[in-house]
Structure 1
Amino acid sequence: MRTKHFINDADKLVEAALKSQSVVRPDLSLDLGNKILYGPRHAENPSQVAIISGGGSGHEPSFTGLVGEGVLSASVVGTIFASPSARQVLNAIEGVDGSRGILVTVMNYTGDVLNFGVAIEKARARNPKLRIEMLVVGDDVGVTRSRAGKVGRRGIAGTVLVHKITGALAAAGSSLDKVVEVGRLVAANLASIGVSLNRVHVPGRPCEQDTQDLLGIDEVELGMGIHNEAGCGRRSGDDARLPVLVKDMLQQLLDPNDDERNYLPKATKDVVVLINNLGALSVLELGGIVLEVTQQLLQDYRLNAVRVFSGTFMTSLDGPGFSVSLLNVVDTGVQQTLLDLVDAPSNVSGWHTIARSNTSMASTFVTTGNSPFSYQGEELEQTCLECDMGPILAKLGGGLRALVAAEPDITRFDAIVGDGDCGTTLKRGAEGIQKALATSRPKNIIKLLSRITEVVESTMDGTSGALYGIFLNSLLHYFRSHAEVMTVVDRGFWTLALDSALTVLSKYTPAQVGDRTMMDALIPFTLALKASSDVQHAASVAKEGALKTRSMRPGLGRTVYIGNEEAWLGKVPDPGAWGLSEFFEGLVR
């Protein structure tokens, strides 16, 4: 849990965030004293049903990021995780155009329901002609029926879908009755559940208050609320792996036999899916979660995710977790379908979507194949190169096993002097080659080199992937260029081939011995083999070269930018050189 913040005064933080909305969206109006953000008013447009929502701060972009054309008319917020007061809400109600009626949508938390309710009743008492309705959204299945009792489900990220659909209907000119009717229909066909790696710390609050009951290093909490509320259970070990977690979450959302959580008893074939970042997940990690959720929906439940929305919609400050919301695609009973309303344009910052087509989710899952524009190199069935494949495959296997075994050390070294990915990149390439060779045994040396090159190009990325790709393609070119003349592939042939590939590689990188790169192992190995034709001696020379890099200041590579040399100079070898030297040693064991 992060306990350091750039702004540690919670009140000043909320105020600054509200002011920032006016900076980013000059068309919005801010009542700072009441913490109300109003949408733009255009005199040329006819009035429409106004929609107001809000709650505690700390859930941005909900609710301020949903204010604007097509969603909310106004939002009113309290301090972090605390409901706005009835006075604030009343000011928001009286600050919007209520001539066509007002819908007040609130998440199901006692403080929010009561304060918004007081404001609604006070507004009605002050203006008997005002038509105003309240919609309470509770979509969290993490709380069972028996535990929730009369309170009902908590409101979480699925509420954003209610805002989007009712906002689109209001923008289309529908009456208050229809907007409320569709809003309640959506809420009744909506279910969500979240999971988090840990709790969050509220800026300005003593750390002790937010560090109680923290999760263990290998634990996650299923069903944790967006205000640090306890969930329905903790998971650890294998049960905390993403596929297992998602399976558990979807079961709680969709199991028809779970009387405690079966809030979607009439699940439709088509569903809208909203996968929400609780604040701290990277876009990369969220992408992996999206794929896991949508694949399990299709494979295990045969549900067609006709719309998948992924992003940061409702946070728990910087919560390290995500939530999944499912909405049945039901008949709205109005001219616009539910998907029409979901897809309707809006200009709010908190609803980020892309243009839609009629493509279904199932048809978007494709396996990797060859590009129609790619050149498929011919693999020679026959070659004049005489080569005993048995010993070569045996030595290669030894090198690959050594490289896989060395991954922890390489990763540890690279975490100190690089970006931490060298070990996993080399291991990924080695395991890819092992898998490819286990599938089918190449008939000749050219087929072997071609297979290895293809695997490296498809599994190894970054700088090391590019360098190995160049070297292997050059090596393959040398072998192919000698394939039509009867030639014995002995140590002398290998020496010339390696030397040729090294010459080509030198055209693309200026790295030489002494620059603290993989070349500190590759060049000594090639030169030693050329001088002695002794592979074991060449491997020991490569290891010696890798060890020397411990005392080298970098001439190339990411280590050039790493400071604090006293922490690693003389202690940590170059990860790339070390990995290659381990491979060479594995060849001769």
Structure 2
Amino acid sequence: MSKHFIDDPTHLVNTALHAITLTNPGVALDAANKIIYRRPGSGLDANNASPQQKVSIISGGGSGHEPSFAAMVGPGLLSAAVAGTIFASPSAEQVRAAIMARVDNSSGVLVTVMNYTGDILNFGVAVEKARAAGVNVEMVVVGDDVGVGQAKAGKVGRRGIAGTVLVHKISGALAAQGYGLAEVAGVARLVAKNLVSVGASLEHVHVPGRAVADEHLQPGEVEIGMGIHNEQGSSREQGVKLPDLVGKMLKQLLDTNDKDRAFLTVNSNEVVLLVNNLGGVSVLEMGGIVAEVVSQLADKYGIRPVRILNGTYMTSLNGLGFSISLLNVVNTDIGGPSMVDLLDYPCEATGWSSPISKLTWEEKNGQTREQDATVEERVRPGGLKMDPESAHAALSAALEAVISVEPEVTRYDTVVGDGDCGIGLKRGAEAVLKHLSSKKLSGDALVDVAHIVPVVEKEMDGTSGALYAIFLNSLVAALRSTGSGEASPKVWAEALKQSCDSLSKYTPARPGDRTLVDALYPFVEVLENTGDVKQAAEAAKSGAEGTKGMKASLGRTVYIGGSGFEEVPDPGAWGLASFFLGMAGISNKKGDEEDWEAV
């Protein structure tokens, strides 16, 4: 039997977003892109002063964490929030629409995102596209969860959870006071750096519209460190009473001798405490939890918070749990308000438990932003020339090579992943081939790459699709900065190197981590040194071969475990190497899968 009043997840998300505009007339909804944004032209800000805000702040993520993020749009907080489906990142196109058409981007935009791969990559694609269009954008990633230690988290780092709302509140207050993008982004990063959080839950949550999972916590069992999407925590324990549970959580937050979790040394005289309801704990019980946390902070650690926030800020649907966040208050070095001053600064958003002012209700503002968020600026020629027929032949051969190795890539990904890598690469390659059949290459390298980018963005999903989208958007920007002349291998190498640098901002993957980067970097390096595409393609092939037996540091393979990595190469690296080999005119077709050992 259903335990939800609304079982249709699409209808649920859409109507919940609409409801925010009903309870706060100061915000509007772009329903097509699931964006809640501040209405333009509101007469006054939350201080009843003339509007000063220059920088717009955008955040977002999967739905199911309400009131984060959509209900935190308003003066003194966010300018816009982008919603995905339940527990899934919004698309890059949704985020791009928010940056380009739903906020004032004339003085810069800060994009704040929690540390989850899908969010970082999709928001990253949008940021790169906005930068390529001339918008000044900074992106801050928040990872405050100590529930998974450094050893297990590895290069992925800490997950983002409820402490993120303190980053929003403080940076939003700074933006509302007229500070510039560099200062707002700098303080946001400083807050994120001084945050630690951990959660605990008595049960997993059920997502409306999905089959009920078999896994449940037993009566009396608690999971410490559970993520906000039901992700595994640090331990499950039976019969733990609240004082012991809070003691274990505070130890993970504050024990500097625990080298696996010593993310932060609380050494200031001021600490902010946030106790967050994950959605299913009664207000009465939350009061008892807060009292226990405050008591133990004083008695065991000598910490008496200067501010204590208790409420529902970031949920896991109706999660039967809570999280504790501590912010180490440090000097912002901007010569203005302190972190505590900014935390106290007035805001107007239903998600911050702040009343909507009489002024906002009475001004009956009905303005919206109606700019067409789907219309792209026409790509201007860049001046880098290439022979269109030769380029078409090489690119087509590369794409055909990717399609031909789909069975191999799928088999490899079935062993070490979820089996969708080969299909994703094939779908992207077929889409680009279809594009080339209907739109001939112009011979201008920048224009031709720019026209391929939206095809890849539309047809390739998942982590690899986002990585390719970031890389190609960066490649367009790099080609634009190169100037005019012949698009020689050396020119391509330099542009590709710049794109690698941009990609490294959004993923910690480096050669040796068993990712597509193991094929990409060798290709770029050899192309730069030799100018020979065939040698570069062979280097990419060697890099992909070298991933066989390499233990993964990133991606789903980290969590799957097992010995599959010893049996097959990384699927993404092998697919990319096949692209380069096809482009260089080198056959990589094998008559039998057993020939792999002879490659």
Fold shared by both chains (TM-score > 0.5)? yes
Please state how far the C-alpha of 1:189 moved relative to its aligned partner: 0.4
Find 2:104's aligned residue among 97, 108, 118: 97
CA contact (8 A) 2:52 2:176 kept: no
| 1:192 and 2:197 matched | yes
Question: In structure 2, what is the Cα distance between the partners aligned to 1:30 and 1:213?
Answer: 36
Question: In structure 2, what is the Cα distance between the partners aligned to 1:113 and 1:338?
Answer: 26
Question: In structure 2, what is the Cα distance between the partners aligned to 1:46 and 1:181?
Answer: 19
**1:81 maps to which residue?**
87
Structure 2 unmatched runs, 5+: 44-50, 356-599
| 1:134 and 2:147 matched | no
**1:180 maps to which residue?**
185
1:61 aligned partner, one-letter code:
P
**2:257 maps to which residue?**
257
Question: In structure 2, what is the Cα distance between the partners aligned to 1:353 and 1:72?
Answer: 14
CA contact (8 A) 2:114 2:161 kept: yes
Alpha carbons of 1:86 and 1:291: their partners in 2 closer, same or farther (altered >3 Å)?
same
TM-score of the pair, normalised by structure 2: 0.57
1:270 aligned partner, one-letter code:
E
Question: In structure 2, what is the Cα distance between the partners aligned to 1:19 and 1:353?
Answer: 19
Please state how far the C-alpha of 1:180 moved relative to its aligned partner: 0.7
Please state how far the C-alpha of 1:353 moved relative to its aligned partner: 6.3
1:20-46 CA deviation, whole Å, 9 max, x = no partner? 111111221110010000013236634
Alpha carbons of 1:296 and 1:266: their partners in 2 closer, same or farther (altered >3 Å)?
closer
2:162 aligned partner, one-letter code:
A
3-state SS in 2 of match to 1:149: helix
Alpha carbons of 1:343 and 1:43: their partners in 2 closer, same or farther (altered >3 Å)?
closer
Question: In structure 1, what is the Cα distance between the partners aligned to 2:92 and 2:151?
Answer: 30
3-state SS in 2 of match to 1:17: helix
3-state SS in 1 of match to 2:313: coil
Please state how far the C-alpha of 1:301 moved relative to its aligned partner: 0.3
CA contact (8 A) 2:348 2:354 kept: no
Question: In structure 2, what is the Cα distance between the partners aligned to 1:338 and 1:230?
Answer: 32
**1:67 maps to which residue?**
73
Question: In structure 2, what is the Cα distance between the partners aligned to 1:140 and 1:267?
Answer: 19
1:63-116 CA deviation, whole Å, 9 max, x = no partner? 011000000000001000000000000000012101111000000000000000
CA contact (8 A) 2:54 2:176 kept: yes
1:237-275 CA deviation, whole Å, 9 max, x = no partner? 2xx100000000000000011111111124323210000
1:390-448 CA deviation, whole Å, 9 max, x = no partner? xxxxxxxxxxxxxxxxxxxxxxxxxxxxxxxxxxxxxxxxxxxxxxxxxxxxxxxxxxx
3-state SS in 1 of match to 2:128: helix
CA contact (8 A) 2:52 2:177 kept: no
Equivalent pairs, count: 346
Q: How does 1:111-510 map to 2 (within 5 A)?
A: 111-125=118-132, 127-128=133-134, 130-207=135-212, 210=213, 212-237=214-239, 240-334=240-334, 335-352=336-353
CA contact (8 A) 1:197 1:219 kept: yes
| 1:56 and 2:55 matched | no
3-state SS in 2 of match to 1:305: coil
Alpha carbons of 1:234 and 1:54: their partners in 2 closer, same or farther (altered >3 Å)?
same
Please state how far the C-alpha of 1:204 moved relative to its aligned partner: 1.0
| 1:106 and 2:113 matched | yes
CA contact (8 A) 1:269 1:302 kept: no
Question: In structure 2, what is the Cα distance between the partners aligned to 1:304 and 1:147?
Answer: 32
Question: In structure 1, what is the Cα distance between the partners aligned to 2:28 and 2:196?
Answer: 33
Please state how far the C-alpha of 1:123 moved relative to its aligned partner: 1.2
Question: In structure 2, what is the Cα distance between the partners aligned to 1:25 and 1:215?
Answer: 38
Question: In structure 2, what is the Cα distance between the partners aligned to 1:221 and 1:267?
Answer: 29
Alpha carbons of 1:33 and 1:41: their partners in 2 closer, same or farther (altered >3 Å)?
same
3-state SS in 2 of match to 1:244: helix
Question: In structure 1, what is the Cα distance between the partners aligned to 2:192 and 2:232?
Answer: 23
1:487-536 CA deviation, whole Å, 9 max, x = no partner? xxxxxxxxxxxxxxxxxxxxxxxxxxxxxxxxxxxxxxxxxxxxxxxxxx
1:15 aligned partner, one-letter code:
N
2:236 aligned partner, one-letter code:
R
TM-score of the pair, normalised by structure 1: 0.58
Structure 1 unmatched runs, 5+: 355-589
Q: How does 1:7-46 map to 2 (within 5 A)?
A: 7-42=6-41, 45-46=51-52
Question: In structure 2, what is the Cα distance between the partners aligned to 1:220 and 1:3?
Answer: 24
CA contact (8 A) 1:309 1:353 kept: no
1:186 aligned partner, one-letter code:
V
Question: In structure 2, what is the Cα distance between the partners aligned to 1:139 and 1:279?
Answer: 19
Question: In structure 2, what is the Cα distance between the partners aligned to 1:47 and 1:264?
Answer: 32
1:89 aligned partner, one-letter code:
V
Please state how far the C-alpha of 1:286 moved relative to its aligned partner: 0.1
Please state how far the C-alpha of 1:48 moved relative to its aligned partner: 1.4
CA contact (8 A) 1:200 1:316 kept: yes
Give the % identical residues.
58
Question: In structure 1, what is the Cα distance between the partners aligned to 2:54 and 2:350?
Answer: 21
3-state SS in 2 of match to 1:322: strand
Question: In structure 1, what is the Cα distance between the partners aligned to 2:243 and 2:103?
Answer: 46
1:124-154 CA deviation, whole Å, 9 max, x = no partner? 11x22x1100000000000100101111000
**1:560 maps to which residue?**
none
1:93 aligned partner, one-letter code:
I
Alpha carbons of 1:326 and 1:12: their partners in 2 closer, same or farther (altered >3 Å)?
same
Question: In structure 1, what is the Cα distance between the partners aligned to 2:189 and 2:2?
Answer: 39
CA contact (8 A) 1:47 1:99 kept: no
Question: In structure 1, what is the Cα distance between the partners aligned to 2:53 and 2:234?
Answer: 44
Which entry has the higher C-alpha Rg, 1 or 2? 1
**2:580 maps to which residue?**
none
Question: In structure 2, what is the Cα distance between the partners aligned to 1:294 and 1:109?
Answer: 30
CA contact (8 A) 1:3 1:201 kept: no
Computed over aligned residues only, the root mean square deviation of the Cα atoms, in angstroms, reads 1.3
Question: In structure 1, what is the Cα distance between the partners aligned to 2:320 and 2:17?
Answer: 24
3-state SS in 1 of match to 2:352: coil
Question: In structure 2, what is the Cα distance between the partners aligned to 1:40 and 1:161?
Answer: 23
2:105 aligned partner, one-letter code:
G
1:97 aligned partner, one-letter code:
D
2:154 aligned partner, one-letter code:
G
Question: In structure 1, what is the Cα distance between the partners aligned to 2:95 and 2:346?
Answer: 27
Question: In structure 2, what is the Cα distance between the partners aligned to 1:336 and 1:38?
Answer: 26
Please state how far the C-alpha of 1:3 moved relative to its aligned partner: 5.0
Please state how far the C-alpha of 1:304 moved relative to its aligned partner: 1.6
Question: In structure 1, what is the Cα distance between the partners aligned to 2:238 and 2:2?
Answer: 24
1:371-398 CA deviation, whole Å, 9 max, x = no partner? xxxxxxxxxxxxxxxxxxxxxxxxxxxx
